[in-house]
Structure 1
């Protein structure tokens, strides 16, 4: 049976542990206060397993929320795909058409370059108003190594209020281990999805892909927009599902493509 792991909104896949950024020092556990929990819930994120990290918090396994955002009002929309929903955040990438550059830190194994190129090709094949290009430096999105002591597989954040994508994806190489290129490409494409404004497809019930008890946090302060023409019924193969099995590959399915085309 495949192991389940969280992919991110920002965290991407959780095999057996979790990770983000370069730091080998022991992590001192920080108490998550009720104020933090309530703010995370008000933003519409799951309050299960919130992790404190430098500058903010990791929620839903891979989504980075800056501490400064916890008290900010959020008025966004949700994109639904059938009975399994595609969600977006308040902010999206603007200034379209636009090329978004991506770099891979030289400290990462060379296999991440190939996986990044695979992820980029998946997006570019959709003929969107955003295209992606790998560069050596000065990128819009930098893929970097997470700290060795991080407790997630990968993480990313959401677009900024000025219409730029979130600027980094952190990957825990020791967590992802010897996963095949297609799996790593799926993880990276998932985190890039967060960077351009996508939330987890099964945000309303993470047990759909992760198992366990039902986890429905509700729409909170965001509304909902149904994407016309999408089929009813579960969507078991979306690239933005919260969890994925070890060795699994999730290229964009038809609902993913509809959601991407709707936004970009």
Structure 2
């Protein structure tokens, strides 16, 4: 949905604006001209949206906040998806393994709101008593590092944050990037808002796709986009809803700054990590 004041999209709700996950979500928009058709075909083959793909260093940003490296795109994957009804689908290709496991998280050169937001996200994950637990560290080697970048609105969108999916060897994606530009979170970021975005991005790091992957119009508006399954299978989780789920923490677009797991999210996380 559109920010009526500034005509750009971002991930969650800021004040009274409805904002879209990590970038603009103009359903009528086209791909950036500097993204080759061959790359778009690779992205689509992996089951990701090819709308508004953005070239970044060493790869591409898709669906607003998911980083796909050029190496990722060239690999031929055996991908597994977890489907929670049609609009409740999570990609679980390269999930984290070697469980039980403690994932160490470090916040690098970011302000207090980002540190406290990270602690909030960790607290919410750990409360689920999964076989993956998270621990924030201040020194040593981290499994996930949360860093800042500074980037204002460009081309009708602003990025709040980005991350990627687990590696081939079962490690979580090692980087969450959070935008420190005041147009992203304001000059005095709300901890619950920032924490909810970090929680969302960590979800990608452990293998979760946007909940409304099969129909992004549900949370973002515009034309329905159903990318299909990219030629790979899906695993249905019994006991999950057969209709859209408005409160999922992994919705592509959200109308709330403070968003955490709902009961169906917990079912999916337990399926993967309990």
Contact residue 30 and residue 52 of structure 1 kept, 8 A: no
Tell me the TM-score normalized by structure 2: 0.84
Query: Which residue of 1 is the match for residue 232 of structure 2?
Result: 222
TM superposition shift of 1:83? 4.0
User: Could you tell me how far apart the structure 2 residues matched to 1:250 and 1:123 are?
Assistant: 13
Alignment RMSD: 2.1
Larger RCO, structures 1/2 (Cα 8 Å, 6+ apart): 1
Aligned counterpart for 1:76 among listed residues 76, 79, 90: 79
TM superposition shift of 1:183? 1.6
Q: What is the CA deviation profile of residues 28-58 of structure 1, one whole-angstrom value per residue up to 9, with x for unaligned ones?
A: x871111111111111100001011111000
Tell me the TM-score normalized by structure 1: 0.87
Q: How many pairs does the alignment contain?
A: 247
Q: Structure 2: state its 5+ residue gaps.
A: 4-8, 13-19, 26-31
**The residue matched to 1:126 in structure 2 has which SS?**
coil
Query: Which residue of 2 is the match for residue 59 of structure 1?
Result: 62
Moved over 6 A (4+): none
User: Could you tell me how far apart the structure 1 residues matched to 2:206 and 2:22 are?
Assistant: 22
Query: Which residue of 2 is the match for residue 191 of structure 1?
Result: 201
Where do 1:42-191 residues align within 5 Å? 42-106=45-109, 108-137=110-139, 138-148=141-151, 151-174=158-181, 175-177=184-186, 178-191=188-201
Q: What is the CA deviation profile of residues 38-86 of structure 1, one whole-angstrom value per residue up to 9, with x for unaligned ones?
A: 1111111000010111110000000000011212112212212234313
Q: Structure 1: state its 5+ residue gaps.
A: 18-28
User: Could you tell me how far apart the structure 2 residues matched to 1:75 and 1:147 are?
Assistant: 36
Contact residue 113 and residue 194 of structure 2 kept, 8 A: no
